[in-house]
């Protein structure tokens, strides 16, 4: 699957809405609880970060992901969901 940049997502999020996409970059922040967490991912193509939602029930390696440090690199494949009612316009 072709890698999409964070800049491409912020430029035209509707073009990728509800599609499975792949992004790669490094973690700016990681916040996690026992059930779910968030990774703010940046690939250097844009100033803003992409919020990646991780869920324990959907990922076999959730605990390992939640323990990573800022600066860890990730390659993530998931569905882009538009979230106009939230702080960020979309999340993966």
**Considering the chain, what is the average pLDDT of its residues?**
96
pLDDT interval class at 2 (50, 70, 90): confident
C-alpha distances in angstroms, 75 versus 35, 39, 41, 66, 72?
A: 21, 12, 10, 15, 10
| pTM value surpassing 0.85 | yes
Q: What are the tokens at 1?
A: 């699957």
DSSP 50-71: EEEEEETTT-TTHHHHHTPPTT
Q: What would the pLDDT profile of 45-64 be if each residue is shown by its tens digit?
A: 999 999 999 999 999 999 99
């Amino acid at each position: 699957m072709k890698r999409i940049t964070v800049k491409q997502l912020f430029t035209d999020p509707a073009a990728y809405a509800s599609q499975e996409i792949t992004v790669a970059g490094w973690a700016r922040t990681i916040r996690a609880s026992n059930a779910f967490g968030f990774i703010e991912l940046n690939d250097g193509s844009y100033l803003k970060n992409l919020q990646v939602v991780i869920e324990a029930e959907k990922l076999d390696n959730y605990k390992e992901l939640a323990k990573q440090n800022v600066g860890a690199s990730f390659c993530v494949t998931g569905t882009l969901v538009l979230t106009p009612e939230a702080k960020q316009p979309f999340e993966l």
